[in-house]
Structure 1
Amino acid sequence: MAQHFQTRYIDDLDGTDLGETANTLSFAFDGKDYAIDLSDENAETFRQVIAPYIEAGRRVTGTRTKTTRTRSTSGNTKAVRQWARANGYDVSDRGRIPANVMDAYTAAN
């Protein structure tokens, strides 16, 4: 049996059925990326509204996302394990200490 799948777009702003084609616009604001499907009319309105801000702004390229590291316990994993067991956490004698346990230990100390 053959199957046929069809993608239909809905205007994210006003709910209009756009059929199989849409203007998918991507933009970023306050460090977050967005995509929105719009009709021709709403896409043009969006472009007109945002145009002065784009003209006044500057392009940012080559940005990298920052990675966060778990706070170090200064190598004192024995104390962390003892604290975790005393506070109801199940931790092994060896290996990596789960992040939620490390976070709780850091918050408590």
Structure 2
Amino acid sequence: MATQVLLVDDFDHDTRADHTLVFAFDGETYSVDLSDENAAEFRELMAPYINVATRLGKHRPEKNPVNGKRPSPALARPSMPSTTNGKPWYKSEPGGPAETEKAKKRYRNMARDWGRENGYDIGDRGVIRDEVYVAFEEHRLAKGLPVGPASVGLS
């Protein structure tokens, strides 16, 4: 006789859970099993906060003993690189520390070069549109590379 284990949505306790989402808050890491509908609602509610947060890197949770899979992250895709004071982290700050400004410039150059190599219109002045930064970060995420400030050694 085979045993079948079904995960139940932790939020409503009535529907089958389709996703295990992992997130951290106030120094604690949490895992919640949710249906497609509740997972979409969770992502929608968290998106405004995640869009302005500083990404600290990936957390690789242990595999689920029931299905052998790793939980899916709450938001796997960046919608816009994180900002500081309403300004993307990689933009220059007049009077900022020289090493930090050099690292930001390195990041902008990496994104510009990647954009040109991947068919994005960078233009004669070398202005990089936000969509290039987003695509560049998605590319780095897919490759398992650090994103955001961590990609150039900033924390």
* Alignment TM-score, normalising by the size of structure 2: 0.35
Tell me which protein shows more strand as a share of its residues.
1
**Higher radius of gyration, 1 or 2:** 1
* Alignment TM-score, normalising by the size of structure 1: 0.49
